[in-house]
Structure 1
Amino acid sequence: MSRIPEAALIHSRLRLRQLRLMLALEEFGSLRRAADEIGMTQPAATKMLHEAEGLLGVELFERLPRGMRATPFGETVIYYARMVFAELSGMREELAALESGNLGRVTVGAIPALASGLLTRTIATLKKSHPRLSMSIQVDTSDVLVQALQQDQLDVVLGRIPTGARADDLLFDSLGEEELCVIAGAQNPVASATNLTWTELQGMTWVLQQHPSPMRAIVNQAFHNARVDIPSSIVETTSIMTLLSLLQQTDMIGVTPRSVVEDYPGRHLLAMLPITFEPRLPPFGLITRRHRIKSSAMQAFISAVKAEQALAAN
């Protein structure tokens, strides 16, 4: 029979100061220094640790000849203690924002293709209805953004869950799919071709996203399916503007979602090449942490994204 008590008992008896002590013990590895850090005597800290271990029914720290070290049980408690205090800090920020008349702050990650379309439209709409909402935007590939989300550096990601990501703590709300296309500048000699093969394009310079982004994986898969080596001349960038500028000024070619080309004001300066992708990108959507409580600012942003995507789909 498990020694771990029911959640209701933990909720009623575990105290924030006990969690603060765990974090201090993890940081200093010494009961005396941890006690000093949170402003209590060493005997009182020892008693508090015993009470927490008694409540949870497990040993949280090993007593070593010199100092203390968290057990696997202790490491789990420390992980959740950090989340508790991060959420409390978020609560304080939101209360302060509401007090000053702001809705609060939301930190958003977006993949480049969505940053120039869906995200831009969402921000424009949201700032009309919530002018004092503070927003911070990071544009990067899905693998970088999801890692930042899991480290609590972002509130929400507009992108894809990368292959191999530890996704058990993520929630994914699908918004749709995108079709990829190979593009060139209108001045490129291949722009006027009526039919092209992967072999013909293999020797050109390609502008692609870095590994291990989902889009790069799809491009590599397309070459593999065509039994053609991956190009040896590649320029890597996550910037849509850098990609489009390079294509217009050189004879390089690149890959981007079709929506980026269709939304681009200089559409006449680009050409979609007559070659199709068999592998498809996974759906894009809103990615959040499973156990993260959504602030008012997060909820407002998520609702606005869904509304903009619904408008675009109609």
Structure 2
Amino acid sequence: MTKIPEANVIHSRLRLRQLRLMLALQEFGSLRRAADNIGMTQPAATKMLHEAEDLLGVELFERLPRGMRPTPFGETVIYYARMVFAELSGMREELVALESGNLGRVAVGAIPALASGLLTRTIANLKQSHPRLSMSIQVDTSDVLVQALLQDQLDVVLGRIPGGARAEELLFDSLGEEELCVIAGAKNPLVQAKDLSWSALQNETWVLQQHPSPMRAIVNQVFHNARVDIPNSIVETTSIMTLLSLVQQTDMLGITPVSVVEDYAGRDLLAVLPISFEARLPPYGLITRRHRIQSSAMQAFISSVKAEQGDA
């Protein structure tokens, strides 16, 4: 059995051009087209692939009658090759930013419940202390955001680690927990009730997050525990503002963290219904990739979030 070489051997002998070839092979499935893509002859590409396989001691690509496909070893190398080039792109962006006097850029993902409160306050403070810090914001459910993080589309996520995520590749820094509540418009007749049960609300129209978000999983579990079928009439949205507007202007019901209601400017137009909600969402926090080096921009954002949460 061939032994995988020590890390220091890989560090000193594996070349970036070999990694570029792996990515091109995975994309095109053909040695000729991959070689053309990175500006090499096919014989040179063949030699380079053999050298990489000899160095690592494993077969990286399976030779098929028509083309090539990565082996499980190859898939692993391709995954880390993408990470390497993403880090190099990040390095280049940060160098350009520093050259122009900026702190750099950070791509942030946030779940809707945190976007209007914690994230907004963090951005406001950051732009005062670091006016030339560039930020891009994506608001979505945790499952979508964590997948984007793992694909290097985001630098940091304010959210939760969803079930089924590759948790071993993530770092989670908990910031707190949120209590959930059922909300209705202030004029909804249900607001006058002294006590309500889940069965009494089963036939109402609900505004809920899409499956498989952590909040939707909790809601489904609550109905299941109450031995009540999931409501048939559901409007699905990831937008907190859409949820609040629908609940406020119709007889629809919604489920949201208590903090969202408290932060909402039109909270007088909403009411929290008198129904027991013992289930809680998993803790929310800062999620980053385990092996990713944090840029100056990332560090500034993370420090600001923690400071803002500490002051809340």
TM-score (norm 2): 0.94
Farther off after superposition, 141-150 or 67-76: 67-76
Find out whether 1:31 has 2:31 as its counterpart. Answer: yes
The answer for the alignment partner of 2:108 in structure 1 is: 108
The CA deviation string for residues 232-268 of structure 1, in whole angstroms up to 9 with x for no partner, is 2221111111111112211221111000111112222
Distance in 2 (CA, whole Å) between partners of 1:31 and 1:165 is: 33
Following TM superposition, by how much is the alpha carbon of 1:117 offset from its aligned partner in structure 2, in angstroms?
A: 0.5
Find out whether 1:8 has 2:17 as its counterpart. Answer: no
The CA deviation string for residues 280-313 of structure 1, in whole angstroms up to 9 with x for no partner, is 111011111112221111111111111111111x
The answer for the alignment partner of 1:169 in structure 2 is: 169
Farther off after superposition, 160-169 or 21-30: 21-30
Distance verdict in 2 for CA 1:279–1:52, change over 3 Å: same
The answer for the alignment partner of 2:142 in structure 1 is: 142
Distance in 1 (CA, whole Å) between partners of 2:57 and 2:208 is: 53
Find out whether 1:55 has 2:38 as its counterpart. Answer: no
Distance verdict in 2 for CA 1:39–1:277, change over 3 Å: same
Distance verdict in 2 for CA 1:268–1:24, change over 3 Å: closer
Find out whether 1:264 has 2:264 as its counterpart. Answer: yes
Distance in 2 (CA, whole Å) between partners of 1:217 and 1:30 is: 43
The CA deviation string for residues 85-143 of structure 1, in whole angstroms up to 9 with x for no partner, is 11111111111111111111111111111001000000000110111111111111111
> Could you say what secondary structure the match of 2:24 adopts?
helix
Distance in 2 (CA, whole Å) between partners of 1:281 and 1:10 is: 43
Amino acid at match of 1:199: S
CA contact (8 A) 2:2 2:58 kept: no
Distance verdict in 2 for CA 1:31–1:164, change over 3 Å: closer
Following TM superposition, by how much is the alpha carbon of 1:2 offset from its aligned partner in structure 2, in angstroms?
A: 5.2
* Matched positions, count: 312
Amino acid at match of 1:49: L
The CA deviation string for residues 142-182 of structure 1, in whole angstroms up to 9 with x for no partner, is 11111221222111111111122232211111100000001
Distance in 2 (CA, whole Å) between partners of 1:216 and 1:68 is: 41
Amino acid at match of 2:237: T
* Residues 1-314 of structure 1: pairs in structure 2 closer than 5 A: 3-312=3-312
Distance verdict in 2 for CA 1:3–1:190, change over 3 Å: same
Distance in 2 (CA, whole Å) between partners of 1:245 and 1:146 is: 27
Structure 1 regions of 5+ residues with no counterpart? none
Structure 2 regions of 5+ residues with no counterpart? none
Distance verdict in 2 for CA 1:270–1:27, change over 3 Å: closer
Distance in 2 (CA, whole Å) between partners of 1:131 and 1:210 is: 36
Amino acid at match of 1:141: T
Distance in 1 (CA, whole Å) between partners of 2:224 and 2:71 is: 47
Amino acid at match of 1:145: L
Following TM superposition, by how much is the alpha carbon of 1:60 offset from its aligned partner in structure 2, in angstroms?
A: 2.2
CA contact (8 A) 2:149 2:155 kept: yes
**Cα-Cα RMSD:** 1.7
TM-score (norm 1): 0.93
Farther off after superposition, 255-264 or 45-54: 45-54
Following TM superposition, by how much is the alpha carbon of 1:66 offset from its aligned partner in structure 2, in angstroms?
A: 4.5
Distance verdict in 2 for CA 1:71–1:246, change over 3 Å: closer
Distance in 1 (CA, whole Å) between partners of 2:32 and 2:224 is: 60
Amino acid at match of 1:128: Q
Distance verdict in 2 for CA 1:9–1:186, change over 3 Å: same
